[in-house]
A and B are shown apart, each in its own frame.
Chain A
Amino acid sequence: MKTEQEKEQTIIMSGNYAAAWGAKCSKVKVVSAYPITPQTTVVEKLSEFVDNKELDANYIRVESEHSVMAALVGSSMTGARSFSATSGQGLLYMTEMLHWVSSSRLPIVTTIASRGIAPPWNIWADYTDILSIRDCGWIIQFASTHQEIFDSILMAYKIAENSEINLPYFIVYGGFIQSHTSKPVRIPPQKLIDDFLPQPPKDGWGHINLDPDKPITHGNLVMPEQEYLDFRFLMQDAMIKSKETIKKTINGFNTKFGRNYNGLVEEYCCEDADVVVIAYGALAEQNKIAVDQMRAKGCKAGSLKLRYIRPFPTEELLELFNGKVEVIGVVDRGTAFGNPTGGPISTEVMSLLFRAKRKVKALPCIWGIGGRNVTVDDQVGLYEKLLRIKNKNEYPTDETCQHGTVWMGLKIGV
């Protein structure tokens, strides 16, 4: 292997390269890959790292995303740190194996450059891919900056490999605007990364370790009266318990690397806010500018970014609802056809309103589907809708509001 970098360096790179660098610096031992836009340059860069002997890993090329994840099931069961990346249709094709990974409690990390689902073909940012498999037992974190993509991979392995947790981990960012634009990313000295994230134990994870000399059978039939139900409960239990591990890991990372990441959510001007927009992904980051503009006009606006949706930040949201907020806008960049709001996360967030100690009004919204541009002006427009609800109890009546949900930018004619 080539010599490791001793000093921190800042490199201008795309979001996808930040993901590849994250895997490289985590010293993954196995990468399995199948190309799909807009993820492809993640695994291309990793193949380059392996070829240049900058990364000591087995690189397994297979014929489909289903096989990608099947290959990683095998490699992770031997205790090898395993990585892949995918997008859109590829993630959907992987779906069956995603359950094999989570139900085998394998700490695999995969990055998703999210894109719209076909038909019609669409390759731009839209989180319907990840949202449609949100309940398959993987931790799901959104990364809204390039630096966050890189840093999150280091934290992801630390969290996933914790023997109390042992759940696989998705890091999600939007296709193209994040995956293909370039920004400076700080790469810490490898020694510091190795201190934070040591190699996994040589004898594998505590619960499974493939060893030809000591054969075991895994995944056998379990009868209804045996422990199938109980193993499923353990997965939910691990998800809930992972919240503490996530927060501790983030704190440790912040201290060691001089970063400032929040826990399961990131609040912006929420403390005294009476209208708050709850969103996720890079548009939630952009939404802070809309908050600044609203604040300049004297409106008490706030923005809450969901960094994680699995595990769900229940306590953080209840704390917001039990505080001063009067109206929330809950935004999805993804669809769930036929559910109460049309957006999966707005439905989940609004279900918590029933547990709040006080009445909070809510307006669900869907924005940015299939990469549709969302400007700061659009986001300011959403705050103005929330203010009308707050001040006059007037819910939007224009045609972009359909079945109780605002479809931002819906074409309604002149």
Chain B
Amino acid sequence: MEKSNNQPAISTGYSSWRELPHIPVSIPCKGSIGETGKWRTFRPVLDAEACIKCGICYLYCPDGVILYQDDAVPEIDYTYCKGCGICVTVCPKKALEMVQEQQ
């Protein structure tokens, strides 16, 4: 099927309503809503020695901020992690814990 040229306009930084499209849409990209790590009051901290690299935290993270490749200890992107704590709850080895920010 032929692809469309009729693509929606992207909403950003309009100075007049006259320029606006009917509705705002955005191209999905990393951090499109800003640095959501600033929302956090507790952060998940991983004990690399207890981690068995199973990847369950990566699967459950609702924001896709746990970076994981086979055979490597996962890394948490604190710029965007909101501190929901789901990874801590699902970790089978209790290798993650929530630590209050500023500690």
Do B11 and A227 have beta carbons less than 8 Å apart?
A: yes
A222-B24 contact, Cβ under 8 Å, with A230-B17, A234-B17: yes
A351 at the interface (CB under 8 A from B): no
Do B23 and A209 have beta carbons less than 8 Å apart?
A: no
Interface size on B, residues (CB 8 A): 22
Mostly, the A contact residues are loop
A216-B22 contact, Cβ under 8 Å, with A203-B5, A204-B6: no
CB neighbours (8 Å) of B4 from chain A are 202-204, 209, 211, 214
Distance from A302 Cβ to chain B, minimum over Cβ atoms (Å): 39
Complexed CA–CA distance, A209 and B3 (Å): 11
CB neighbours (8 Å) of B5 from chain A are 203
CB neighbours (8 Å) of B28 from chain A are 215-217
Do B27 and A209 have beta carbons less than 8 Å apart?
A: no
B103 at the interface (CB under 8 A from A): no
Do B17 and A208 have beta carbons less than 8 Å apart?
A: no
A218 at the interface (CB under 8 A from B): yes
A16 at the interface (CB under 8 A from B): no
A103 at the interface (CB under 8 A from B): yes
A220 at the interface (CB under 8 A from B): yes
Interface size on A, residues (CB 8 A): 29
CB neighbours (8 Å) of A203 from chain B are 4-6
Which residue of chain A is the closest to B1 with respect to CB atoms?
Answer: A202
Q: Mark A100-121, 1 if CB is under 8 A from B, else 0.
A: 0001110000000000000000
Q: Mark B6-46, 1 if CB is under 8 A from A, else 0.
A: 11110100100100111111111000110000000000000
Complexed CA–CA distance, A81 and B24 (Å): 22
Do B23 and A217 have beta carbons less than 8 Å apart?
A: no
Complexed CA–CA distance, A202 and B3 (Å): 10
A178 at the interface (CB under 8 A from B): no
Partner of A216, one of B3, B17, B20, B27: B27
A216-B24 contact, Cβ under 8 Å, with A221-B33, A227-B14, A230-B14: no
A201 at the interface (CB under 8 A from B): yes
A233 at the interface (CB under 8 A from B): yes
CB neighbours (8 Å) of A202 from chain B are 2, 4
Do B14 and A207 have beta carbons less than 8 Å apart?
A: no
A84 at the interface (CB under 8 A from B): no
Q: Which residues of A contact B (CB under 8 A)?
A: 103-105, 166, 201-204, 206-209, 211, 213-218, 220-222, 227, 230-231, 233-234, 237-238
Counting from the closest, the 10 A-B pairs by CB-CB distance are: A203-B4, A207-B22, A203-B6, A105-B22, A230-B17, A216-B25, A217-B26, A218-B25, A217-B28, A207-B21
